[in-house]
A and B are shown apart, each in its own frame.
Chain A
Amino acid sequence: MLALRDLGCTRSGRRLFSGVSCTVAAGQLLRVQGANGAGKTSLLRIICGLLEPTSGEALWHGQGVTGLREEFGRELIYLGHAAALKDDLSPLENLQAASTLGGQWLDTAQARAALAAAGLAGYDNTPVRRLSQGQRRRSALARLVHGQYAALWVLDEPFTALDVLATQWLADLIRRRVKAGGIVVLTSHQDVAIDGAPQQVLGL
């Protein structure tokens, strides 16, 4: 269970938001909405424990996220604004490295299957530098295919640069994760319908 208690965030003297509270139970989706610069990314970074809130706290199963560190890392998949891909490595190498660091071992066959599911079949060994923006995004999102183990997904603008097919694929992945009892927190400007998943909307 993820709980936000009276969160406030001030960045370089500007108050982004304050008094943000909500509780997300297992099997729920949390959509964070707000205009550009409203602090959506900052909120997600606070949830992950990358950023210390100015006031309040984010709790994972009743414990502060900043104190949990590796324990929390094992249960979390965070896909941020930057794709977290190494330009000189292939999608396959990127995916395997990212999973290993996340605490999950993927053998080559599993990793290839994940990339194929993400629509990157045949690009396994192409350096990421040569992929298009949408393909880079898919390459980063491929981690979610085998990511059902993680209890919490935090996705920052995951639908950016995706085509219709990939958007549906991702919406389906998110729906399945939520239905299987996971928590997904995401920000999105596109109003992608994720039907059948109990969801909350948090406006900043």
Chain B
Amino acid sequence: MSTAVPQVSLLAAVRCIFVRDLRLALRRRADTLAAMIFFVMVVSLFPLGIGPESALLRTMAPGVVWVAALLSSMLSLTRLFADDHQDGTLEQLLLSAHPLAFLALGKIAAHWMSSGLLLVLVAPLLALQFDLSPSACGVLVLSLLLGTPVLSLLGAIGAALTVGLRGGSVLLSLLVLPLAVPVLVFGAGAVEAYNAGLGVSAHLSLLGALLVLALAAAPVVVAAALRIALE
């Protein structure tokens, strides 16, 4: 039985964890969809509560959509590492033959695909309720596309720090929400700038810069936080 076995490349290992987590998200559709439905509900409550004042709604739209996206991503983040911690697979990640930071990146990518990406896809439909023009809607989608991965990356740091803690979800929000403020400002700001007839490239470039920064730094921080949390 003890056959010589081929080594696994780093890329294959990251893909393995990415596919595993996506598969889990698919098999637990109720959990995956809950965060998206929360997003839809929260965004839809505003037009209902405020009434048919299209000028006001148009001004509020970017802020409302972005805040809802932020809260919804907090909801799904609590379980990013908690489930793995509970069933012992997180320990196996720490003892893996591959650097933990890259595996964490694979997990975060899968998490974004099953949460943030869904929000991006459903956002244009919600924007209709706010009477956003199609091109403003495009800017909103673009800002979400750049911004939601940053939320997942930042949130992963909070999730890693609070893994195994009781009441971790509240603490997670308290830790991550302040960090997410720049994303919110530039994300919502992009659409507002577009509506005001200004250029959006500055806002989107800043969001892109935040994404690059988070991509580079967050996985390393997550790895360090997980090692501390599992002591």
Q: Are B2 and A149 in contact (CB under 8 A)?
A: yes
Q: Ordered nearest first, which 6 A-B pairs have the shortest CB separation? A: A103-B97, A82-B88, A148-B2, A84-B88, A74-B97, A100-B16
When each residue 95-115 of chain B gets 1 if its CB lies under 8 Å from chain A and 0 otherwise, what string results? 111111001000000000000
Contact of B12 among A82, A87, A105, A127 (CB under 8 A): A105
Specify which chain A residues have a CB less than 8 angstroms from the CB of B231 in the assembled complex. Answer: 50-52
Are A146 and B1 in contact, CB atoms less than 8 angstroms apart?
Answer: yes
Q: What are 12 residue pairs bridging A and B, where the CB atoms are less than 8 Å apart in the complex?
A: A70-B98, A72-B95, A73-B96, A80-B91, A86-B89, A87-B87, A100-B8, A105-B12, A110-B3, A114-B1, A127-B27, A145-B1
Quote the shortest CB–CB distance from B68 to chain A (angstroms): 28
Q: Is the CB of A180 within 8 A of B8?
A: no
Residue A171 lies at the interface, judged by CB distance under 8 Å to chain B: no
Of all chain B residues, which has the CB nearest A88?
A: B27
* Contact between chains at B8 and A70 (CB < 8 Å): no
- Tell me how many residues of A have a C-beta within 8 Å of chain B: 43
Chain A residue numbers with a CB within 8 Å of B3 are 110, 146
Measured CA separation A48–B8 after assembly (Å): 21
Instruction: Report the bound CA distance from A89 to B84 in whole Å.
Output: 13
Establish whether residues A73 and B88, one from each chain, have CB atoms under 8 Å apart when the complex forms. Answer: no
Contact A70:B6 (CB < 8 A) given known A82-B88, A86-B20, A97-B20: no
The interface bits of chain B over 1-35 (1 if a CB of A lies within 8 angstroms of the residue's CB, else 0) are: 11111111000110011001001100110000000
User: Contacts of B12 on A, CB cut-off 8 Å?
Assistant: 100, 105
CB of B18, distance to nearest CB on chain A (Å): 11
Bound form: Cα–Cα A142–B197 in Å: 63
Q: Do A101 and B103 contact each other (CB < 8 Å), given the known contacts A80-B88, A82-B88?
A: yes
Interface of chain A residues 50 through 82 with chain B (CB within 8 A): 50-52, 69-70, 72-74, 76, 78, 80-82
Residue pair B96, A102 in contact (C-beta under 8 Å):
yes
Q: Which residues of B contact A49 (CB under 8 A)?
A: 95
**Cβ proximity bits A105-148 to B, threshold 8 Å, 1 near / 0 not:** 11000100110010000000001000000000000000001101
* Distance, CA A2 to CA B103, complexed state (A): 27
List the B residue with the shortest CB-CB distance to A66.
B227
Q: A78-B92, A100-B12, A102-B92 are in contact. List 4 more A-B contacts (CB 8 A).
A: A80-B88, A84-B87, A96-B16, A98-B89
